[in-house]
Amino acid sequence: MSLTTAQKGLNRARRGVAPSGAGEPSGPTNRTSKLSAQTSRTFFWLLLPSIVLLVLIHGYPLIHAGVQATHDGSLIETGNFVGAENFATVLSSPAFWKAAQFTLLFTIVGVFGSWLVGLGLALLLRTKIPAGGTFKVLLLLPWVVPIVVSSTAWNWLVATPDSLIPSLFRHLGLGAPLFLADPTLAAITVMVFKVWVSFPFMMMMISAALASVDSTVYEAASMDGASRWQQFSQITLPLIARSTYISWILMTIFCVNDFPTIYLLTGGGPVDATTSLVVLAYRTVFQDFATGPGIAIAFLMTMTLVVISVILYRQIRKSSVE
Amino acid sequence: MSTVVHAHPESGPALGVANDGKSRRILSEAGHRGQWWRFLAILVITAIVLVPIMVTVVLALTPGTTSTTTGLTFENFGKVFSGTLASTWLQNSLITTLATVFVSVAVAAPAGYVLSRGRSKAVSGYSLLLFVMQSLPIITSVVPLFILFAGMGLVDNLMGLTIIYVGSTMTVATWMMAAYFDSIPMSLEEASWIDGCSVFGSFTKVVLRNSLPGILSTAIFAFLLAWNDYLVAIVFLRSSEIFTLPMGVQSFFQQNQTDWTSVMALAVIMMLPPVIVFAALNKYFSVGGIGGSLAGR
Amino acid sequence: MFNKSSAASTAFSRRGFLGLTAAAASVPLLAACGGGSASQGADPNGVIKFWDMPWATPAYNDAAKKIAEGYAPESGKLKASYQTIQWNNFYQTFSSAIASKTGPSVSTGGGFQSFQFEQQGQIAYADKVVDGLKANGMFDDFLPGVLEPFKSEKGYVAVPWQLDMRVFWYRQSLFEQAGLEVPTDWSSLLEAGKALKKIGAFGFATGSGAGNNIGNHSMIMMMVNNGGGVFTKDGELDVMNDRNVEAVEFLLELVSNGIVDPASVSYTTENLNAMWRDKKAAFGPYVLGVPERVGDTSGDIMVASPLAGPHGDKGGLVFPNNIMMYTNTPSQESSEAFLIHYMGQLKELWKQKLMNALPVFKSITEIPEFASDPNNVKIVKEWQPIAKTFASQGNVLSDKLAVLDGGQALNQFTQTILTGKTDAKSALQTFQSGLESVLKK
């Protein structure tokens, strides 16, 4: 009963949010007929700076990485071509799969953890709260502080048995956890740290998406008897779906590619418990001085990331056509 | 000349700042009591979240081991500014970051416009390519980039660093701009074309002019990336006179001892500009922020 | 160029051109920030670039800079410039600079960096520098055994300038409080550790957290202490020898008895410093200058004598830090002349008490500024003669040691031991296969 009325409100809301519509029903055809001669040339010039930068800053290192990954050289010399040997070495090493596993877990927790916290705070901040604007700025701080510094602060809070948080646990009778020394706890701590660093980004994304929702939708829905939960799941969530997908993609890239958060807090330890693929790639290249295999790890990681991004990208396209 | 088209903020909620009040009003009927409960909740959450930040600030205010002062003091800041090149670093960071922001937006806005309006296979292919190419982690690409840039005389100076930052922010920035342009009705441009504007003319006169929130959120993304980076800077910068702030922080980490109070003081100095930017632009996040613009995609 | 529409060309002047004005505004900004490069690369052939690391406080780098820049070469030789390179990612910095021919002519750096770059054909051998030191008498001033590790088949890969030592330190007051004598051998260390635990102190303070290699060094140090080590005399891998097994078993015993702080595995150097500062650390291996480092110069923290292992062996670790020359130099003779000069000026750094390391020259160990510190004297007298390098049981350094020192295999091994969830043989087995896989090339 109320489901259908909520659905109506939802449709109204969708129309309200995107009056211009992502579908662009009439625009393009009109325009192309009028200005097509000029358009493609102009478009080319508009794109040119970004193409140059893309080739220079992203294309060149990607090709270079491709060369390094198939050679046995160092950072200085290219060395001999070894074909797929580096990839074979990497793929047959248990350390790689362990790191891949941790990266997956780290990314999932990082993306959804920060999304959930960000969503909760965005919803809370959307309501009328005294000094709400101040809180919003304050809550952005974890994202703003350089990781070199916040990792040090976190170390201070958890590293030794006498640090603030372990002492707190002890006083509460919860034992004496070693947050960075125990492999499981260290993994959890790194993930919590990542969520702490990332949730402000999510909060900002969601706040902005929520702000463009027409509030009358909710009034209509609650008049029709939709519960809070129904309002949330039937109206709010679908309305922020597109920005959610985008934020998930971006955060996936941020998490998979994240080096300093992990490296500065745990160095990848204890005993590899928090070694992600980027950390493994870094340590292989710069500490084991095995350039080829290290770059091969980064290369494999990049390819996986591309596949995930493309899948999520399709999802966005779908959700905007809907 | 007389054909400048103004998009009215009210013409679409995704465009302007006008419906700010509306969203703020949601749930206000829940009453004052609920309001204070929520205030308490957010206060507690904020306090917990900010504990690591407070640690940093307190350490920045704690007298150093060689100091005779007791209690909290600002002397670390004085020490950092007078004893190190902190003011130069601050200036370098500002120059690099602002240059990155300007150039990045200047590159991303036109490209984003094409991505938004172009319907050809080539354009959507390029859109995906932008996304795909940036996935290589910076730690593996920084060495080849250094060798390339060294050949052009662009290492150990802020220009080379800025180009890298522009390149690495440009991809996401282009996407963000494209997403924002999607939310601008085509009808505005069509009207300007009828009045004789070129595609480029209507982009600059009509579209850009109405894209301030999108531009600002893109700018902030670029700002934070350039402001906080040290992985590129540490390879590209050598001379302490051209360090950026994150490099300055790094330079306090010595072989055998680290001057933590100076690190923390510099860290607090580093936090301030982004906080000021956020505070000043706060109202835009509520409507046209990153998410808002991307949400239109 | 952009288009031919007149409407658009008038529009160029409009203020609505946000993107363009932004681009235009950034041009002078970029021009302004390019300024640093002009002076930097003005005349790359005119100067010997000397790169140095932050070996101690910033005052150290200031003093070293003064020495380098105060160098007045004889006619026909080039002057020197000084550049501090950050420790963070330094291998990346050196590699990218060398690969792009913008690297230094002379540098300090990682302990085994010279051997790594020698392998890659980037190092200029220092035989003529050694000849020069012989000629001016400084050669005979070297402490015994410090130069030999740098002699390869092709020549001297580098010249040592300071000795970074790992020695045992102890906190006197904690031993007094527990009513204990300072340990002299492994069994007394174990007993003392058990007693110290009762007063809340740790008898073997170490750390293996992010960026901290003291834990790694502790492991090798105990092997060396027991007459073991990771390599044979001929430089072959020899991880599983009996002495190593024994040493690791002893370390595991320390861990299982709670003599090693269970959180050690995650301790950064700062955490370890705090442990000494807060009187949690009673005994343990560390670098020189611990009192200054942790900010307690009351004399309570002192260097202990070397411990005797179960077979009576003694040993400590030394990392002979060295200055290397590169083939990419404007003038090899100038590089050599500068290095000889710089070696002669090193005394100044110890005179100003800027160093946390032993000098390589006997004469410097005798200057009052150095010899007035009883800890220094003890290290020179008791530790330096028995100290061995990472190459132990051999003594010829090589690029393999860089992999051992910074690599993942040793770090994993150390962390496995410090968490205590293993037995000696299987941990060493994993360590060995880890090393084999990276060294096999």
Which overall architecture, per CATH, does domain A94-321 show? Orthogonal Bundle (1.10)
Distance CA(B162)–CA(B168), nearest Å, equals 10
Question: What pLDDT is stored for residue C441 in this prediction?
Answer: 54
Residue A225 φ then ψ, to 5°: 90, 15
In the three-class reduction of DSSP (H, G, I as helix; E, B as strand; rest coil), residue A275 is classed as: coil
Instruction: For residue B13, give how far its alpha carbon lies from the nearest alpha carbon of chain A (Å).
Output: 6
Closest-CA residue of chain A to C2: A42
Structure tokens at C39: 């002076």
Which overall architecture, per CATH, does domain B83-247+271-295 show? Orthogonal Bundle (1.10)
Is the Cβ of C100 closer than 8 Å to some Cβ of chain B?
yes
pLDDT, one tens digit per residue, over A178-223 is 899 999 999 999 999 999 999 998 888 788 777 766 677 777 877 7
Q: Who wins on pLDDT, A187 or B246?
A: A187
CB count within 10 Å of CB C176 equals 10
In Å, how far are A79, A255, C200, C206 from C193, measured between CA atoms? Answer: 51, 43, 10, 14
Residue B2: partners with Cβ closer than 8 Å, 6 or more residues away: none
- Give the nearest partner residue to A76 out of C122, C408, C415, using CB atoms: C122
Q: Report whether pLDDT(A87) > 50.
A: yes
Confidence of residue C320 (pLDDT cuts 50, 70, 90): very high
Give me the amino acid identity at C181: E
Question: What pLDDT is stored for residue A290 in this prediction?
Answer: 87
For an interface test with B, give the residue of C20, C30, C43, C294 to mutate (most B CBs within 10 A).
Answer: C30
Question: What pLDDT is stored for residue B135 in this prediction?
Answer: 78
Percent of chain C with pLDDT over 70: 89
* Cross-chain Cβ contact A22/B12 below 8 Å: no
pLDDT, one tens digit per residue, over C10-26 is 333 333 333 333 333 33
* Cross-chain Cβ contact C287/B201 below 8 Å: no
Is the Cβ of A85 closer than 8 Å to some Cβ of chain C?
no
Structure tokens at B152: 């052009």
Is the Cβ of B240 closer than 8 Å to some Cβ of chain C?
yes
Distance CA(B249)–CA(B85), nearest Å, equals 11
Residues of C in contact with A74 (CB under 8 A): 95, 120
How far is C-alpha A263 from the chain's CA centre?
18
For every residue of C79-148, DSSP letters joined together read EEEEEE--STTHHHHHHHHHHTT---SEE--STTHHHHHHHTT-EEP-HHHHHHHHHTTGGGGBPTTSSG
Domain boundaries, chain C: 43-163+319-385, 165-318+393-439
- Give the nearest partner residue to C26 out of B102, B147, B260, using CB atoms: B102
Distance CA(C304)–CA(C292), nearest Å, equals 17
How many CA atoms, within 13 angstroms, populate the side-chain half-sphere of residue A322?
14
pLDDT, one tens digit per residue, over A243-273 is 788 788 888 888 998 888 999 899 887 988 9
Question: What pLDDT is stored for residue A278 in this prediction?
Answer: 92
Q: Which residue has the tokens 């100038």?
A: C334
Helix, strand, coil shares of chain A, percent, nearest 5, are 75, 0, 25
Q: H-helix or E-strand containing C51? A: strand C47-52
Arithmetic mean of pLDDT over chain C: 86
Distance CA(C405)–CA(B108), nearest Å, equals 45
Name which of A308-312, B67-71, C125-129, C180-184 the model is least confident about. B67-71
Structure tokens at C421: 């969830």
- Give the nearest partner residue to A72 out of C89, C411, C441, using CB atoms: C441
pLDDT, one tens digit per residue, over B180-218 is 787 777 787 888 888 878 878 888 888 888 788 778 878
Q: Report whether pLDDT(A322) > 50.
A: no
Q: Who wins on pLDDT, A9 or C119?
A: C119
Q: Report whether pLDDT(B130) > 60.
A: yes
The CATH class of the C43-163+319-385 domain is alpha beta
Residues of A in contact with B26 (CB under 8 A): 126-127, 215, 218
Residues of B in contact with A308 (CB under 8 A): none
CB count within 10 Å of CB B8 equals 11
Instruction: For residue B37, give how far its alpha carbon lies from the nearest alpha carbon of chain C (Å).
Output: 40
Q: Report whether pLDDT(A26) > 60.
A: no
What is the DSSP pairing of strand C358-359 with strand C301-303? unpaired
Confidence of residue B251 (pLDDT cuts 50, 70, 90): confident
In Å, how far are A120, C126, C347 from C80, measured between CA atoms? Answer: 60, 18, 19
Of C109, C138, C139, C136, the residue nearest C122 (C-alpha): C109
Residues of B in contact with A317 (CB under 8 A): none
What is the DSSP pairing of strand C387-388 with strand C159-171? unpaired
**Left, alpha or beta for C133 (phi > 0: left; psi -120 to 50: alpha)?**
alpha
Confidence of residue C235 (pLDDT cuts 50, 70, 90): confident
Is the Cβ of A321 closer than 8 Å to some Cβ of chain B?
no
Q: What is the ipTM of this complex?
A: 0.80
Confidence of residue B44 (pLDDT cuts 50, 70, 90): very high
Percent of chain B with pLDDT over 90: 17
Question: What pLDDT is stored for residue B66 in this prediction?
Answer: 64
Residue A23 φ then ψ, to 5°: -70, -30
How many CA atoms, within 13 angstroms, populate the side-chain half-sphere of residue B161?
34
* Cross-chain Cβ contact B270/A131 below 8 Å: no
Structure tokens at C79: 């002057």
Question: What pLDDT is stored for residue C275 in this prediction?
Answer: 93
Confidence of residue C87 (pLDDT cuts 50, 70, 90): confident
Q: H-helix or E-strand containing C161? A: strand C159-171
Of C167, C144, C67, C152, the residue nearest C108 (C-alpha): C67
> CATH assignment of C165-318+393-439?
3.40.190.10
- Give the nearest partner residue to A50 out of B38, B107, B278, using CB atoms: B107
Structure tokens at C279: 């009187």
Average pLDDT over residues B246-259: 74
Residues of B in contact with C4 (CB under 8 A): 198
* Cross-chain Cβ contact A213/B23 below 8 Å: yes
Residues of C in contact with A155 (CB under 8 A): 209-210, 268, 270-271
Provide the chain A residues 205-264 that lie in CB contact (below 8 A) with chain C.
Answer: 263-264
Distance CA(B73)–CA(B76), nearest Å, equals 7
Distance CA(B64)–CA(B68), nearest Å, equals 8
Structure tokens at B60: 């920045």
Question: What pLDDT is stored for residue C340 in this prediction?
Answer: 95
Residue A104 φ then ψ, to 5°: -60, -50
Question: What pLDDT is stored for residue B22 in this prediction?
Answer: 42
Name which of A155-159, A230-234, C76-80, C102-106 the model is least confident about. A230-234
Residues of C in contact with B157 (CB under 8 A): 33-37, 40
Confidence of residue C33 (pLDDT cuts 50, 70, 90): very low
H-only helix segments in B84-206: 86-117, 121-133, 138-151, 158-182, 186-194, 199-202
Packed helices A94-126 and B31-49: angle between N→C axes, nearest 10 degrees = 150
Distance CA(C160)–CA(B197), nearest Å, equals 73
In the three-class reduction of DSSP (H, G, I as helix; E, B as strand; rest coil), residue C324 is classed as: strand
Structure tokens at C70: 């105060």
Average pLDDT over residues C163-181: 95
Structure tokens at C7: 């409407």
Distance CA(A218)–CA(B120), nearest Å, equals 39
Confidence of residue A305 (pLDDT cuts 50, 70, 90): confident
In Å, how far are A2, A45, C17 from C12, measured between CA atoms? Answer: 55, 16, 7
How far is C-alpha A286 from the chain's CA centre?
26
Bridge partner residues of C51 (DSSP): C83, C107
pLDDT, one tens digit per residue, over A120-131 is 998 888 887 888
Question: What pLDDT is stored for residue B294 in this prediction?
Answer: 42
Confidence of residue B283 (pLDDT cuts 50, 70, 90): low
Confidence of residue A175 (pLDDT cuts 50, 70, 90): confident
- Give the nearest partner residue to B39 out of A20, A43, A130, using CB atoms: A130
DSSP assigned state of B207: I
Q: Which residue has the tokens 């957290």?
A: C209
Q: Report whether pLDDT(A43) > 50.
A: yes
Confidence of residue A134 (pLDDT cuts 50, 70, 90): confident
Name which of A140-149, C99-108, C283-292 the model is least confident about. A140-149
Question: What pLDDT is stored for residue A97 in this prediction?
Answer: 94
Confidence of residue C4 (pLDDT cuts 50, 70, 90): very low
Arithmetic mean of pLDDT over chain A: 81
Residues of C in contact with B204 (CB under 8 A): 11, 14, 16-20
Q: Which residue has the tokens 């020394």?
A: A181
